[in-house]
Amino acid sequence: MHWLGAAGFGAMVSKNALAGSDEAAARINEITGGAEGDDALIILDLPEIAENGNAVKVAFDIDSPMTEENYVKAVHILADGNPEPEVATFNFSPAMGACYATTRMRLSKTQKVYVVAAFSDGSYGSASATVKVTIGGCGG
Partner 1 sequence: MAKVKPRVKVPKTADAGEIIEIKTLISHPMHSGRAVDGDGNLVPRQIIHSFRASFNGKLVMSVDLKPSVSANPFFTFPFKATASGTFDFIWIEDGGKEYTKSKKISIG
- Contact footprint for partner 1 (CB under 8 A): 54-56, 66, 79, 82-84, 86-93, 95-107, 137-140
Q: Work out how close the CB of 99 gets to partner 1 at its nearest, in angstroms, rounded to a whole number.
A: 8
In the bound state with partner 1, the residue whose beta carbon lies nearer, of 12 and 88, is 88
To partner 1, the closest distance from the beta carbon of 10 in angstroms equals: 17
| Smallest gap from residue 104 Cβ to partner 1 (A) | 4
**DSSP string computed for the chain:** ---S-TT-EEE---GGGG---HHHHHHHHHHHTTPPEE---EEEEE-SEEEETT-EEEEEEE-----SSS-EEEEEEEETTSSSSEEEEEE--GGGSS-EEEEEE--SSSEEEEEEEEETTS-EEEEEEEEEEEE-SS--
Dist CA 44 CA 7 (whole Å): 13
Q: Is the CB of 16 or the CB of 91 nearer to partner 1?
A: 91
Shortest gap between Cβ of 17 and partner 1 (angstroms)? 19
**Comparison of 107 and 117: residue with beta carbon closer to partner 1:** 107
Of 113, 107, 137, the C-alpha closest to 45 is 113
CB of 41 or CB of 55, closer to partner 1: 55
Nearest approach, Cβ of residue 70 and partner 1 (Å): 15
Nearer to partner 1, 38 or 90 (CB): 90
